[in-house]
Chains A and B, each alone.
Chain A
C-alpha cells in the first residue's frame, strides 16, 4: 500500500510569492494534519482536518490556509511568503482524529 505522498518534494520561491503544497493520505485515512519543521527544530502543528472539516489550528498567521477534499487529500497554501517560511512541510494522515500519525517525506520550501 502507498504511504502518505507529498508534492512537490522541493521548491524554491521568492518573497511575496504564494505556494501550494499537496498531500495524499494513506487509503482509508480520513484525517490529515500539516506541520512546519524549521531546520534543527521539532515540527510545529499548523492544521488538522478530519472528514473535510478543520479540527485544529496552530499558532500560524492567516497567510497559512488549508483544505481537505472529498477524497481526503489536502492542500496547504501559504501567501505572501517570507524568508522565515523556509522549512520542511510535513503532512501526516491517520485513521481517526487522535490516532497514530503516518508522515510523508515532506516538501522542502526555500524562500529567497
Chain B
C-alpha cells in the first residue's frame, strides 16, 4: 500500500540551530513530493516540491529537501531555525499511477528561544 511516514511527531530545537524533519515514502514510479507548512489557524502553504529535476530542492524561508531514491526519503532541513518556523509540517506524495495524494501524519516543530 502507498504510504508516507513522518518519522517524528514532534521536533524541538533552539533558535539558530539546524532543523531536520524526516519523511519516508513507499516506492512508486515518478512520485511528486512536497512539503507543506500549517501555522495555527491558518491554511496550508507550500514550502517546496520535487518533480524529478534536481535532487536537492530549495524552498521558501531557507528550507531545503533532498530526494534520495535509494532510501525513498525526502527529508526537510533548514540551517538555522527561527521562532516563526514553529508550526506543523506535512510531507505529501502524489502517486501518478492511479492518482492519489497522501499526507504524512505531520511533524510539530517547536522552536525555543
Could you list which residues of chain A lie within 8 angstroms of chain B, going by C-beta atoms? 33, 35, 41-45, 48, 55-56, 58, 90, 92, 97-98, 100-106
Q: Is the CB of A101 within 8 A of B101?
A: yes
Could you list which residues of chain B lie within 8 angstroms of chain A, going by C-beta atoms? 32, 34, 36, 42-46, 49, 51, 90, 92, 94, 96, 98-106
Given contacts A100-B34, A100-B49, 14 further A-B contacts (CB under 8 A): A41-B105, A42-B90, A45-B102, A45-B103, A48-B101, A55-B99, A56-B99, A97-B96, A98-B32, A98-B51, A98-B99, A101-B34, A101-B92, A105-B42
Q: Is the CB of B104 within 8 A of A42?
A: yes
Q: Contacts A42-B90, A98-B94: A103 and B101 contacting too (C-beta < 8 A)?
A: no
Q: Is the CB of A35 within 8 A of B94?
A: no
What's the minimum C-beta distance from B7 to chain A, rounded to whole angstroms? 14
Q: Contacts A100-B34, A100-B49: A56 and B101 contacting too (C-beta < 8 A)?
A: yes
